[in-house]
Amino acid sequence: MPNRLANEKSPYLLQHANNPVNWFPWGEEAFAKARIEDKPVFLSIGYSTCHWCHVMERESFENEDVAQVLNEHFISIKVDREERPDLDRIYMLFVQAATGSGGWPMSVWLTPDARPFFGGTYFAPDNRYGRPGFKSLLEHLSRAWRGERERIESSGVQVIQQLRDLAAAGAEEAGGELQDTLDSTYNYFRRTFDSKLGGFGQAPKFPRPSVLNFLLRYGQMSGEEEAQPLVFKTLDEMAKGGMNDQLGGGFHRYSVDERWFVPHFEKMLYDQAQLAISYLEAYQITKEAVFAQTARDIFEYVLRDLTHPEGGFFSAEDADSAVDAENPHEKREGAFYVWEAMEIRQELGIAAAAIFNRRYGVAVNGNVQEDPHGEFTGRNILYQAHPADPEQDEILTDAIAKLLEYRSTRPRPHLDDKVLAGWNGMMISAFAKGAQVLDEPRYAEAARRAATFVREKLWRDGTLLRRYREGDSAIAAFLDDYACMTNALVDLYETDFDLAHLTWAEELATRAIALFADPNGGFFSTPEKQADLVLRLKDDYDGAEPSGNSVLTYALLRLARLRGRDDFRQAAELTLAAFQGKIKTGGPGMPQLLVAQMFAAGRPIEIVFAGEPSPEALQVLRGRFLPNAVVLRAEHSPDAAIYKQPGIYVCQNFTCQLPVFTAEELAARLQ
């Protein structure tokens, strides 16, 4: 019999709907039952494409003995972290503070009033390596709840206060020069940079595009010649590695080794969006074709595999997939993506296979040397082992098409087909930038269709919703959703100059300020009176996704310039001031907020088209990396009256020069 999760829309919750565990979705029903039955709550947080979430489900949540303990002694709640990032942040903060690390699946035990008292991540089913197994831990916590109830409840109250203090730490330590903070942040990334293989730190290596955004802008602003090459090296090595899907485009979540070779195979929409922009900006600066091509490959992957028929973008594809169609329940990580040498030879023939194998590092007995779980025995992860030979381009192009077609007949990884407002905002920004930099109208159309999808499905009476799936729109949007959609609409406006994009961006920004702004500066992730939260946080960490504070601050600054909105500028400046103490001591954790700070402090550039911009002029403009510029049509400017003469106005430091009229003149002026 399915449990209560069968009534949910989240793909992650539905994956657990047939567990013997008596799961509840997050909500008052579960906590009321915990209070009535005087039981603690077991909270499990994950997402549908999470490999170790699948492992813990198979080992523990599908186990009848474990389920019996959970059902007898706990009220069990499942949460999709992608639907409820607010809950995920609160309890992840607790787990990280309590254990020194975090991750998913996240396992937290709560009092019936939702206060955490014990937590961790993945727990093995039995006792291993000196650590208790999951069932033993459940039995221990059940005894502790019955025998030490008062101490546990008191601890829960103290924990919330400690988390509140932890979240606020550093806010009062303002002072110091911005340049010092920028320099120290850059020096941190330079010290941790892997000069041989790119990236920062040791394995596992994660793409963290906000760091790349910071370094590109810091290099241009400061004149530090070594800053931008750190980005180019990282992007180049990532594109060569197995973390980049060499056949189908798009990037996997992270690399388990230091050379970007063995990936964790899930593909997330937010990675595609942010990395596409990083590759586009690297192309603007270097004009290296490999960066443009990598961005195109990302876009083609998203259009082919992550796009809703009506235009929105799906969330992710799983790391695991069935080994073959006859055994759909026998899954292995990366099964969809890895190759036996014999398969390639059968599909391509001996001669073409030899060329392909040399280019992509295919070995007869497999090319994965470090394989602790035996998942890749005899198989190959494709990577760029040798440089391309131009004389073999046609053979390789044909080989990739054949292998991609063959791969499409394999059982596909699970698709998480929910549409999230914030992640769609990131992807809309990427497609808008792609349309600009690569002069590709299809990308502009993809961005517009997605924006229309979000407006039609997730915009209700002046309020944004977070999630759409199978006709159901739900969950009041969070700061991140408003921030990313606002910024996306600015990017879309600078692509096609449709004033409707700016108008909606202003509505979203105004609503975000009303819902989330702290009068003392900065934005909370959630509205003020959200009853089901034990803590209201201001998220400021730019990790796999940038924080809502970073993105909204940047978007407000851009809108302030485009629309002459002093209220937006003041809200952004108040945010930057509120985070000065934390930025001073923790700049490497907030690189995207430093991007906003550099935009605010840098020399502003406005490029205003009075009259229809020529394709040649747009090509000149969009071929340059101009991070401090905003671009608009004269009739949409708050100062429209000053642009009487047709032409292109380049305004710096709020002073406009005489207009230019040709693409060549614009190029000279921008130089």
Q: Using the Cα atoms of residue 559, residue 564, residue 566 and residue 570 in order, give the sign of their dihedral.
A: positive
Long-range contacts of 149-158 (CB under 8 A, 24+ apart): 152/40, 152/111, 152/117, 153/111, 153/115, 153/117, 155/117, 156/110, 156/111, 156/113, 156/115, 156/116, 156/117, 157/115
CATH 3.40.50.1980 assigned to domain 4-168? The reply is no
Rounded percentage of the chain residues whose pLDDT exceeds 70? 99
Picking from 224-228, 371-375, 431-435, 636-640, which range would have the lowest pLDDT averaged per residue?
Answer: 371-375
> CA 376 → CA 205, 305, 368, 381, 407, distances in Å?
20, 24, 7, 8, 17
User: Residue 185 is which amino acid?
Assistant: T
**What's residue 529's pLDDT?**
85
350-374 pLDDT per residue, tens: 999 999 999 999 999 999 988 877 8
What is the separation of C-alpha 532 from the centre of its chain, rounded to a whole number of angstroms? Answer: 25
pLDDT band at 153 (very low <50, low <70, confident <90, very high): confident
The average pLDDT across 117-145 equals: 91
Q: Summarize the confidence of residues 530-558 as an average pLDDT.
A: 95
Mean pLDDT of 325-335: 88
Is 235 exposed, middle or buried (CB count within 10 Å of its CB: 0-12, 13-18, 19+)?
A: buried
Task: Mark residue 406 as left, alpha or beta (left: phi above 0; alpha: psi -120 to 50; beta: remaining).
Answer: alpha
446 Cβ neighbours under 8 A, 6+ residues apart: 299, 303, 307, 311, 431
Backbone angles phi and psi of 525, in degrees to 5: -75, -20
Number of Cβ within a 10 Å radius of residue 225:
8
- Helices 479-496 and 421-438 meet at what angle, rounded to 10? 20
Report, as an integer, the average pLDDT of 422-448.
98
The tokens describing 576, both together, are 């930057």
Confidence of residue 174 (pLDDT cuts 50, 70, 90): low
> What region does 521 belong to: left with phi over 0, alpha with psi -120 to 50, or beta?
left
What average pLDDT score do residues 640-648 get? 91
171 confidence band (pLDDT: 50, 70, 90): low
DSSP for 262-297 reads: SEE--EEHHHHHHHHHHHHHHHHHH--HHHHHHHHH
Which residues neighbour 264 within 8 Å (Cβ) at sequence distance 6 or greater?
Answer: 51, 204, 252, 253, 254, 255, 256, 319, 333
The stretch 471-490 carries a mean pLDDT of: 98
- CB within 8 A of 556, min separation 6: which ones? 486, 509, 568, 569, 571, 572
Contact 54, 446 (CB under 8 A): no
Alpha-carbon torsion, ordered 548, 550, 552, 554, to 10 deg: -160
Say if strands 23-25 and 75-80 run parallel, antiparallel, or are unpaired.
Answer: parallel
Side chain identity at residue 408, one-letter code: S
Amino acid identity, residue 326? E
pLDDT of residue 172 exceeding 70: no
Rounded distance, CA 628 to CA 217, Å?
9
Report, as an integer, the average pLDDT of 152-172. 82
The residue behind tokens 């059940």 is: 142
Sign of CA pseudo-dihedral 434, 436, 437, 441: positive
For 606-619, the pLDDT digits (tens) are 999 999 999 999 99
Mean pLDDT score, 588-592: 97
Please, are residues 505 and 445 in contact by the beta-carbon 8 Å criterion? Answer: no
Enumerate residues 6+ apart whose C-beta is below 8 A from 453: 308, 310, 311, 312, 419, 424, 468
Structure tokens at 501: 């994009």
Q: What is the pLDDT of residues 183-223, one digit of tens each?
A: 999 999 999 999 999 999 999 999 999 999 999 999 999 99
pLDDT of residue 302: 98
State the sign of the Cα–Cα–Cα–Cα dihedral 631, 633, 634, 637: negative
| Whether the bond into 519 is cis, omega within 30 of 0 | no
- Summary mean pLDDT of the chain: 95
Whether omega before 390 lies within 30 degrees of 0, making that bond cis, reads no
Lowest mean pLDDT segment, chosen from 321-325, 332-336, 455-459: 321-325
Integer CA distances (angstroms), 363 to 224, 349, 367, in order? 42, 16, 5
Phi, psi of 157 (to 5 degrees): -65, -45
User: Residue 166: pLDDT band by 50, 70, 90 thresholds?
Assistant: confident
Q: CATH number of the domain at 178-318+416-601, please?
A: 1.50.10.20
Q: What is the pLDDT of residue 222?
A: 94
Give start and end residues of each alpha helix (H) in 459-547.
479-496, 499-516
Q: Tell me what pLDDT residue 173 has.
A: 61
Q: Which of 317, 315, 335, 431 is nearest to 381 (CA)?
A: 335
